[in-house]
Amino acid sequence: QQPVQSPQAVILREGEDAVINCSSSKALYSVHWYRQKHGEAPVFLMILLKGGEQKGHEKISASFNEKKQQSSLYLTASQLSYSGTYFCGTGPINNAGNMLTFGGGTRLMVKP
């Protein structure tokens, strides 16, 4: 079952903050975040692992609540370049080889 992302869409002005949530019905080992701009391939933002380890870009922050099986991506002081669709991908406890289940995506538009 796909993780549920919320909100489905959000519009911001430059400089505003946003939070994108990802919620799973399964116990998780890892959460990946990707951004896809229109007409382009998804691009990696961050990996969060059970136990607190994070790998990713310094300017992006995220949290991973293992007990609630949820992750949140924090976008602060948004820029026009943040526009795109954000996807979370979840990896279960018994994950083998990086298999992920992606959510339906959150469309983010940043306006001047």
Partner 1 sequence: DVKVTQSSRYLVKRTGEKVFLECVQDMDHENMFWYRQDPGLGLRLIYFSYDVKMKEKGDIPEGYSVSREKKERFSLILESASTNQTSMYLCASSTTGYEQYFGPGTRLTVT
Binding of partner 1 at residue 101 (CB under 8 A)?
Answer: yes
Other C-beta atoms lying within 10 Å of the C-beta of residue 91: 22
- For CA atoms 103, 85, 46, 21, give the dihedral sign: negative
Binding of partner 1 at residue 10 (CB under 8 A)?
Answer: no
Burial 14-31 (b: 16+ CB within 10 A, else e): eeeebebbbbbeeebebb
By CB under 8 A, name the one of 7, 11, 25, 55 that touches partner 1. Answer: 55
Asked whether 82 and 108 are in contact (CB, 8 A), the reply is yes
By CB under 8 A, name the one of 37, 74, 77, 104 that touches partner 1. Answer: 104
Binding of partner 1 at residue 87 (CB under 8 A)?
Answer: yes
By three-state DSSP, how is residue 2 classified?
coil
Binding of partner 1 at residue 105 (CB under 8 A)?
Answer: yes
- Find the binding residues for partner 1 in span 32-51 (CB under 8 A): 32, 34, 40-44, 47
Q: Which residues bind partner 1 (CB under 8 A)?
A: 2, 5, 32, 34, 40-44, 47, 55, 87, 89, 96-105
